[in-house]
Structure 1
């Protein structure tokens, strides 16, 4: 379940149509309770921060 939520976050971070949303808002949208929790989970899963993933799109 968590892997699916992280995959959806990763997809949303790469979507130019969602560039107006803050990284924390994307994490919250997929059920992460706070920005730090989301960032740590994302970094553990993908080896980069959500902001780095967004910039790499």
Structure 2
């Protein structure tokens, strides 16, 4: 977190995820897209997130 000015630590990402409602969504597809934009992940149109496919 120190090296990224608080942007990339797990705590920061968890806060963003919770603010987007990611803790209580049934499929989280919209939340995954919004989360990726907020944290700066490159989600190209060819990448389709699969909810609940990966642990963690």
TM-score range, shorter chain: 0.3 to 0.5
Higher RCO (C-alpha 8 Å, min separation 6): 1
Structure 1 or 2: more helix by fraction = 1
Larger Rg: 2
- TM-score for both structures, normalised by structure 2: 0.33
Q: TM-score, normalised by structure 1?
A: 0.32
